[in-house]
Chains A and B, each alone.
Chain A
């Protein structure tokens, strides 16, 4: 199993040793702290930017790269906050930020949060699935439409995760991402994916 994983890793994922971990400069840390403070003051979760800095340190990234990642994340958290309802939990805000990061439109996040009366916990799961699908190459519009439809129909978290894992597997096997999604989503629900000429 490890050999198989290593083979996949060698193709798709560059190995990285953590021995090159470093500590950011005091100035960079102050900048990140200031960003975290401003997020906190805005009622947004601040821990994600601190975690992003720690991640960058472990992976040996330089100060500039870490600061860019932190600023980008802060911007996405603010955008996500605007798109979600007031009752959105910190986890859902972070999940929405990840969807925004990969290119899901704010309006689509807003629609997903509001139109389907979805529970906060289910919304977070849907947003993570959405972000993963788009990160795997599924066109954002297709992913939004499919996930929105599945959530509205009350598809379980387990089925959504199965869909996500299945699409990822199909893409690794060479299938076009959009086709992989359509196939898997239709298997869950024939209504999940609109016919091409309706979009």
Chain B
């Protein structure tokens, strides 16, 4: 059995500190220049946000973990095609949004319906929440149409601008604003109904 050629990489105590001060664009350039540890920093920097979006979108922590992992691997492999003058976060979100859409589509084909209420688990940590409130929110979110849920999460939870959302989803700004507004109205109604139930 042959051993793969070893490139000596001397770990430096300062490498970790240095990378945390680098911008996303600098980190991408570093990865393309051969410093793969820089991608670890990108993962650490963006994983919470990605997991949050995927969990809210899919309503299931395990699916969210799978999809987010997949998105990071695809981003790593496609890094050479990323324009470093663009926002890495938006680009990563584009990939993640795609993966979530695919996962939801696969689950729909498997389960026969787009959303199952009993797939919405209470597994996402939300400090200080009581379980009942968290469940009500997740139930309401799951009952939104996927396009509305997607737009709502990107706008109000991930706090993307409408231009960033347009770039990430391929949907026009007017349509996105409509979806966000309808999502808010619907969520409001669902939360009221839940409270009154």
A and B interact physically:
yes
Do the beta carbons of B62 and A26 come within 8 Å of each other? Answer: no
* Range, interface on chain A: under 10
The smallest beta-carbon distance between A38 and chain B, in angstroms, is: 14
The total of chain B residues at the interface (CB under 8 A) is 5
Q: Which residue of B lies closest to A36 (CB)?
A: B123
Taking CB atoms, residues of chain A closer than 8 Å to B121 are 26, 29-30, 33
Write the residues of chain B forming the contact surface with A, with a CB cutoff of 8 angstroms: 62, 118-119, 121, 123
Taking CB atoms, residues of chain B closer than 8 Å to A33 are 121, 123
For residues 1 through 54 of chain A, which have their beta carbon under 8 Å from a beta carbon of chain B? 26, 29-30, 33
Q: Which residue of A lies closest to B118 (CB)?
A: A26
Q: Which residue of A lies closest to B119 (CB)?
A: A26
Give the distance in Å from the alpha carbon of A10 to the alpha carbon of B165 in the complex.
56
The smallest beta-carbon distance between A119 and chain B, in angstroms, is: 23
Give the distance in Å from the alpha carbon of A33 to the alpha carbon of B62 in the complex.
11
The smallest beta-carbon distance between B135 and chain A, in angstroms, is: 12
Do the beta carbons of B62 and A29 come within 8 Å of each other? Answer: yes
Give the distance in Å from the alpha carbon of A30 to the alpha carbon of B121 in the complex.
8
The smallest beta-carbon distance between B44 and chain A, in angstroms, is: 19
Give the distance in Å from the alpha carbon of A30 to the alpha carbon of B122 in the complex.
9
Nearest 7 A/B pairs, CB to CB: A26-B118, A33-B123, A26-B119, A30-B121, A29-B62, A26-B121, A33-B121
The smallest beta-carbon distance between B112 and chain A, in angstroms, is: 15
Give the distance in Å from the alpha carbon of A29 to the alpha carbon of B123 in the complex.
11
Taking CB atoms, residues of chain B closer than 8 Å to A29 are 62, 121
A-B contact list, 8 entries, CB within 8 Å: A26-B118, A26-B119, A26-B121, A29-B62, A29-B121, A30-B121, A33-B121, A33-B123
